[in-house]
Amino acid sequence: MSKFSDVYVVDGDTLDVEGLGRVRLLNINTPEMNFKTSRAPEPFAIKAAEFVKKKVSAGVAIEHVGRDRYKRVLANVWVREASAHNNWVLLDQMLVVNGLAFQIFESPGPYVQCLMKAEEKARKQGLGVWSQPDYWLNSAKSGFVIWRAPVADVEYSGSMVWLVLDESRRLGVRKALISSDDLMSVKGKSLESRGWAVRKRSSFGAQFLLYPKTKQGVNFGEKNSSRTLD
């Protein structure tokens, strides 16, 4: 890990670090500030950013994992925490356990299970974003969403498998990411899937489409970004 002292907080999950550039906290997503639109910040977006500002004020330690398609550094970010005897604590996990971020899957790593447990705790306690989950749950909007619905049908198109939830929503999965056994059993099951929905008009009509990008996102029957509910 490398240590840095000059850190500017863009929002809850994005930092500008002197000597490194723009850094995206790995495997989490905080509510959007909506800087590029006329919309108000999402619930808890400002609180998440303020939380991070306090935590990074004494500097950060960064574990560089890779870069995303926007050329941002993907990293696990650590901060000194007084309540932990001034030891280094994972900032990503602190955001999730306080209900200020959602756990997502961008890259495998040693802290995925920690993030999952942190989110489960925050969700059970109704903290932060989990105090008003309907803003994201089954929301008819573009951007980050959580969809909870049974799979009504399964369709195939080229390299894609489409899990049809209803007339306005479908989950697009690359065939390489899903086993034939899963496809045989998924119809009729209720799934909870999370990610960034895009609204597109196609041969299906105007619909919101969601594309899991990792195996964890389509690993039915386990607690991950597509969680089987029954």
* Spatial separation of the C-alpha atoms in residues 38 and 208, rounded to whole Å: 21
Residue range 31-45: mean pLDDT, rounded: 92
Is the CATH code 3.40.50.300 the one for domain 2-133?
no
Question: Whose structure tokens read 């590029």?
Answer: 36
Query: Position 9: which residue type?
Result: V
pLDDT tens digit string along 71-92? 999 999 999 987 776 789 999 9
Lowest mean pLDDT of 60-74, 123-137, 157-171, name the range.
157-171
Is 60 exceeded by the pLDDT of residue 225?
no
Query: Position 188: which residue type?
Result: G
| pLDDT at residue 160, rounded to an integer | 84
* Spatial separation of the C-alpha atoms in residues 162 and 193, rounded to whole Å: 13
Annotation: CATH topology of 136-228: OB fold (Dihydrolipoamide Acetyltransferase, E2P) (2.40.50)
* Spatial separation of the C-alpha atoms in residues 81 and 78, rounded to whole Å: 9
| pLDDT at residue 96, rounded to an integer | 97
* Spatial separation of the C-alpha atoms in residues 54 and 194, rounded to whole Å: 28
Closest-CA residue to 138 (of 229, 37, 19): 229
Residues in Cβ contact with 223 at an 8 Å cutoff, skipping those fewer than 6 apart: 116, 120
Confidence of residue 224 (pLDDT cuts 50, 70, 90): very low
Stretch (H or E) spanning 55: helix 45-55
